[in-house]
Amino acid sequence: MRVVGIGVLTRQAGAAVFRKSFSCERLHFSSQAGVECIAPLFQTVTESPQPIPTQVTGTIPKWIKGSLLRNGPGRFEFGNDNYNHWFDGMALMHKFRIEDGSVTYMSKFLESDSYNANKSSNRILASEFGTLAMPDPCKSLYGRFKSNFEITSTDNCNVNYVLYKGDYYVSTETNFMRKVDPEELDTLEKVDWSKFIAVNGATAHPHYDPDGTSYNMGNSYGKQGTKYNIIRVPAQKSSSGETLEGAQVICSIVPENNMRPSYYHSFGMTENYVIFVEQPLKLNIMKILTSKLRGKSFSDSMSWEPQHSTVFHVASKHTGELHPVTYHTQAFATFHHINAYEDKGCIVLDLCCQDDGGAVEAFQLQNLRQSGQGLNELYKKVPKAYPRRFVLPLGIDTKTEQDLIIKPLNYTSATAEKRADGKIWCTHEKLYDDSLDLCGLEFPQINYAKYNAKRYRYVYGCGFQHLVGDSLMKVDIETKKAKVWKEEGFYPSEPIFVPYPDSAEEDSGIILSAVLTPNKNKNTFLLIIDAKEFKELGRAEVPVQMPYGFHGIFVPHKS
């Protein structure tokens, strides 16, 4: 093992702090014997609606003019009612405004219908992913009975910021989004996907063409059966002012089992195709329909069924036509795609894969708020996600009877094999060396503006040795080597890449990450890293506690 480090000694809160940026052949992470309690990262905080100045150390380049917007849970109880799952917490929107080398921070709770109803009643009235709301005791007996048969969706949009027709929204995975003002973080109108197209929800991870056209995926349920739908939203604003007017379902994919479709959190997109991964993390429709009668939440309807293979479906973005070939591989679960592109008649698909789909259950709040041995045991059980590459040959002939193995690209070991049963079976390539074995990589990000749907080299993400990100990583997928930023007792969020103005190289830019700590004697801070060297440039300390969140975007300031 060889570890190369560059350290900077600074003063923080009266104590000496040594922080390092690491480049390594094999990383050695600390033993899990004395794990730190991370419960404060999953506790309710107060919002900070007025901009707060930060304390800057190091250097924040003055060319950075914009705001890092982040989203995630921020309130976990109302009155005596408590949420059960991390995904349930009320959406708290964060904003780090960067201008002329200085940074301010503010946050506001999303004023969703769910949040307002809960707040006014001082109890949980709206069901969330892992928490079933009990019937309102003020209702009549008949009203409480009737509510057992009503399927309602939350507008607690706590997952991501998304962009449609030039407008900003916060999103979750239901049929509702909330339009927001990125300047003041004010909550604006509620938008219902189902009023524009026949879907019951959409992911919080759309893709964008260079012209602003958006693509997403959402399920539909009804008399025609369950379908996975590919959605296209035009870039142009409509004359009527309707938010999603012009949205279309361009392709529908039928699940193998209508009553047990797959759960999905994201999808892949190339210049000409959308790639949907049908994984064996299943939703039980009957359980969803009867959840209130059974006293169970939505999360109870999910199950990991590794006896099924994972299937890749490919559809044309332009015609909506499904490719006649489906591609199969061993069971894995995925939440986040990295990138996809076309090369020599093939689709190259990179994504973060887990060999076990049981990770969602681990994020129950009672698990996250453990300490000592219980937390240590939980860490050992949670599956890690690893960056992997699959190659899907579009011109493969399924009519030939003989078996064949196709390795069409000389820079990857990923293969596709036609088996005797007619299925095309794919084997993946690991996009990492053994330095990632202990922690994996999640929350992947790339230089999206210039390299989405194109051949690329670098992926940035969080290392998850524990339940939340405890390091930042840059992985060179050609050499498989990783560069790492890590500081004990701190937990960085999803890294966001911001390119240097007029940059020519893929990794010419900076990385932004909100770095949190459960230690109340230390400060949260916005971290700025040079993306090429992966060394810290500066940080802006914020004197408020923040809970660990999900996703975000960088919004450049208008000239």
Dihedral over alpha carbons 486, 489, 493, 495 (to 10 degrees): -10
Model confidence at 130: pLDDT above 50: yes
Query: How do strand 15-24 and strand 48-53 relate by DSSP bridges?
Result: unpaired
> What confidence tens digit (pLDDT) does each residue in 321-351 have?
999 999 999 999 999 999 999 999 999 999 9
Q: Mean per-residue pLDDT for 7-20?
A: 36
- CB contact burial 198-221 (16+ within 10 A = b; e otherwise): ebbbbbbbbbbeeeebbbbbbbbb
> What confidence tens digit (pLDDT) does each residue in 252-295 have?
999 999 999 999 999 999 999 999 999 999 999 999 989 988 99
3-class secondary structure per residue, 310-378: EEEEEEECCCCCECCCCEEECCCEEEEEEEEEEECCEEEEEEEEECCCCHHHHCEHHHHCCCHHHHHHH
User: Out of 24-28, 226-230, 342-346, which region has the weakest mean confidence (pLDDT)?
Assistant: 24-28
Confidence category of residue 27, pLDDT binned at 50, 70, 90? very low
What pLDDT sits at residue 28?
38
Share of residues in the chain with pLDDT > 70 (%):
89
Contact 179, 168 (CB under 8 A): yes
CA distance linking residue 55 with residue 542, whole number of Å:
7
CA distance linking residue 152 with residue 117, whole number of Å:
14
Q: How high does pLDDT run on average in the chain?
A: 90
CA distance linking residue 129 with residue 434, whole number of Å:
35
Query: Amino acid identity, residue 555?
Result: V
| Neighbour count for residue 450 (Cβ, 10 Å) | 17
User: Out of 22-31, 195-204, 440-449, 521-530, which region has the weakest mean confidence (pLDDT)?
Assistant: 22-31
- CB contact burial 419-442 (16+ within 10 A = b; e otherwise): eeeebbbbbbbbbbbebbeebbbb
The SS3 call for residue 475 is strand
- CB contact burial 366-399 (16+ within 10 A = b; e otherwise): ebbbbeeeebbebbeebbbbbbbbbbbbbebeee
CA distance linking residue 324 with residue 313, whole number of Å:
9
Model confidence at 100: pLDDT above 70: yes
User: Out of 268-282, 374-388, 450-464, 526-540, which region has the weakest mean confidence (pLDDT)?
Assistant: 374-388
At a CB cut-off of 8 Å and minimum separation 6, what does 178 contact?
A: 110, 112, 155, 157, 169, 170, 187, 188, 189, 190, 191
Model confidence at 402: pLDDT above 60: no
3-class secondary structure per residue, 512-542: EEEEECCCCCCCEEEEEEECCCCEEEEEEEE
- CB contact burial 488-509 (16+ within 10 A = b; e otherwise): eebbbbbbbbbbbeeeeebbbb
> What confidence tens digit (pLDDT) does each residue in 350-386 have?
999 999 998 999 999 999 999 888 888 888 889 999 9
Share of residues in the chain with pLDDT > 90 (%):
79
What residues are paired with 252 via a beta bridge? 229
> What confidence tens digit (pLDDT) does each residue in 133-164 have?
976 555 544 444 434 445 578 999 999 999 99
Model confidence at 445: pLDDT above 90: yes
Q: Phi-psi region for residue 481, left (φ > 0), alpha (ψ -120 to 50) or beta?
A: beta
Positive or negative CA dihedral for 151, 155, 160, 161? positive
Question: Shortest CA distance to 5 belongs to which of 488, 527, 508, 485?
Answer: 485
CA distance linking residue 321 with residue 319, whole number of Å:
5
Question: Shortest CA distance to 265 belongs to which of 256, 255, 278, 252?
Answer: 278
Positive or negative CA dihedral for 401, 407, 409, 410? negative
What pLDDT sits at residue 379?
85
Strand order in the sheet with 552-556: 48-53, 102-109, 90-99, 66-75, 552-556
Structure tokens at 80: 């005596």
Contact 265, 302 (CB under 8 A): no
Model confidence at 6: pLDDT above 70: no
